[in-house]
């Protein structure tokens, strides 16, 4: 009997955390649609993945381009991972409105556009999993990160909203919130060994996270082991979020 592959689309899939998720999904037997801005990068990773994986070049804020990418994929995805994003560093007082809007548009509006495109097809089948990429910044904003925390917090709430509306239609929706991850958009930060040592030492489990740590969390949420989990934000942060009191003095200095 011929084995039917599961299918997945990963946005921001050609690099960093997205590429790690694509690789983990392919190893788990998924045919992957690698969706990112540059066709060549998407095609290169798709060729590496095998399983009939395909490169899908699209801007997640462009509804027509997203729809065309799904048509090219030629399958209703069993799994959608909304990972595309950018960051524009700077204090809120220094951040331009255009930069703030760009971050919110790509993260929050882009996540909505792609999730909606996938869900409209998933509901016809009556099943599917959507996983949105949030951030530790959605829980505890970091200074100098511009519109990123607000955009990621919006994704966390959008995830809850989608879970409520899509649950009765057979679709689970969750988010993953990475902390200090040595990879992806954070890779330039950790190129400085002093920053690596300082931040890694401040994490309760005493190390930085990896892109594989994030991908493992995504794949667990996508699995049948998480079949009763929806509307949840899974922190992948080594315990940073609840550790604030550990960093405050207990006695007078």
Per residue in 189-224, pLDDT (tens digit) is 888 889 889 999 999 999 999 999 999 999 999 999
Q: Is the pLDDT of residue 252 over 80?
A: no
Does residue 3 surpass a pLDDT of 80?
A: no
User: Looking at residue 88, what is its pLDDT?
Assistant: 94
pLDDT of 187: 81
Closest CA to 105 of 120, 88, 93: 88
pLDDT band of residue 253 (cuts 50, 70, 90) is low
Task: Give the model's pLDDT for residue 1.
Answer: 36
**149 within domain boundaries:** yes
pLDDT tens digit sequence for 7-38? 999 999 999 999 999 999 999 999 999 999 99
The pLDDT score that the predictor gives to residue 62 is 98
Domain span at 224: 6-180+210-233
250 part of a folded domain: no
Long-range CB contacts for residues 125-128, cutoff 8 Å, separation at least 24: 125/76, 125/170, 126/169, 126/170, 127/78, 127/170, 127/171, 128/76, 128/77, 128/78, 128/79, 128/80, 128/170, 128/171, 128/172
In order of 64, 106, 131, 133, 225, the CA distances from 168 in angstroms are: 28, 28, 17, 23, 19
Res 173: pLDDT: 98
Task: Count the domains in the chain.
Answer: 1
Least confident among 130-134, 184-188, 229-233: 184-188
- The reported pLDDT for the residue numbered 248 is 77
Extract the tokens encoding 244: 């604030």
Q: Active-site residue among 30, 112, 148, 228?
A: 148
User: Is residue 243 in some structural domain?
Assistant: no
Does position 2 have pLDDT exceeding 60, yes or no?
no
When pLDDT is averaged across residues 42-64 and rounded to a whole number, the result is 98
Q: Over range 215-242, report the average pLDDT.
A: 97
Q: Is residue 240 part of a domain?
A: no
Task: Assess whether 228 carries a catalytic annotation.
Answer: no
- List pLDDT tens digits, range 148-186: 999 999 999 999 999 999 999 999 999 999 999 998 888
Q: What is the mean pLDDT of the chain?
A: 94
> pLDDT tens-digit profile of 108-126?
999 999 999 999 999 999 9
Is residue 246, in this structure, part of any structural domain at all? no
User: What mean pLDDT comes out for the span 68-75?
Assistant: 98
Q: What is the pLDDT of residue 250?
A: 73
CATH code for position 226: 3.40.50.720
In sign, the C-alpha dihedral spanning 162, 167, 172, 176 is positive
Residue 249 lies in a domain: no
Q: Give Cα 96 to chain centroid, integer Å.
A: 25
Q: Considering the domain boundaries, does residue 227 fall inside one?
A: yes
Does residue 105 sit within a domain?
A: yes
Q: Report the predicted TM-score, pTM, of the whole model to 2 decimal places.
A: 0.95
Convert 55-77 into a string of H (helix), E (strand) and C (coil): EEECCCCCHHHHHHHHHHHCCCC
């Amino acid at each position: 009997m011929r084995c039917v592959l599961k299918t997945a689309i990963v946005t921001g899939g050609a690099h960093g955390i997205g590429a790690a998720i694509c690789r983990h999904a392919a190893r788990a037997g998924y045919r992957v649609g690698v969706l990112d801005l540059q066709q060549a990068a998407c095609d290169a990773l798709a060729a590496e993945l095998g399983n009939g994986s395909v490169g899908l070049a699209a801007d997640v804020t462009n509804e027509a381009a997203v729809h065309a990418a799904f048509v090219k994929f030629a399958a209703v995805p069993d799994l959608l991972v909304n990972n595309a994003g950018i960051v524009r560093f700077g204090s809120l007082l220094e951040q331009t409105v255009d930069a703030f809007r760009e971050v919110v548009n790509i993260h929050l509006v882009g996540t909505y556009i792609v999730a909606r495109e996938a869900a409209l097809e998933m509901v016809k089948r009556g099943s599917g999993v959507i996983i949105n990429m949030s951030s530790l910044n959605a829980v505890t904003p970091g200074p100098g990160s511009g519109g990123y925390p607000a955009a990621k917090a919006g994704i966390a709430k959008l995830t809850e909203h989608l879970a409520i509306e899509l649950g009765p239609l057979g679709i689970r929706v969750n988010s993953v919130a990475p902390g200090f991850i040595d990879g992806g958009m954070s890779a330039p930060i950790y190129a400085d060994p002093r920053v690596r040592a300082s931040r890694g030492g401040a994490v309760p489990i005493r190390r930085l996270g990896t892109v594989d740590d994030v991908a493992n969390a995504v794949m667990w949420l996508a699995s049948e082991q998480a079949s009763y989990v929806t509307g949840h934000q899974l922190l992948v942060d080594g315990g940073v979020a609840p550790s604030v009191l550990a960093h405050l003095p207990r006695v007078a200095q």
